[in-house]
Amino acid sequence: MLSRRAVLILNPLSGSGMHQPTIRRAAWDRLIDVRELGIGYQAEVLARDAVREGAKVLVAAGGDGTVRAVARTAAEHDIPLVVDDDHQQPLHSGRRRR
């Protein structure tokens, strides 16, 4: 069972990985569990495992493939999806930029 209700699926190689420490810190500050893709770990499998363990929100940080896989799982289970596409301000407050 998860200790946190939101789970971040992180592709550490996306964008050359330079924003990974900032994204991890932002997730930790917001009490978001982090699951990292690695050899043998696919985004969709990690997302499905997180939902099975009780995740109520999925967060995707990575390239198009990572986002697509996590979005598919979120849609299948009818749970919210957050996409971190702003690596300058990762996991920001949710306010829309103008």
Question: What is the per-residue pLDDT across 11-58, written as a single tens digit (0 to 9) for each?
Answer: 887 776 666 778 888 888 888 899 998 877 799 999 999 999 999 999
The answer to whether residue 77 is domain-embedded is yes
Question: Which CATH number is 31's domain given?
Answer: 3.40.50.10330
The answer to whether residue 88 is domain-embedded is no
H or E segment to which residue 6 belongs: strand 6-10
Neighbours of 51 (CB within 10 A): 18
User: Mean pLDDT for the chain?
Assistant: 81
The pTM assigned to this predicted structure is 0.78
Report the domain count for the chain. Answer: 1
The answer to whether residue 93 is domain-embedded is no
Q: Domain range for residue 41?
A: 6-83
The answer to whether residue 92 is domain-embedded is no
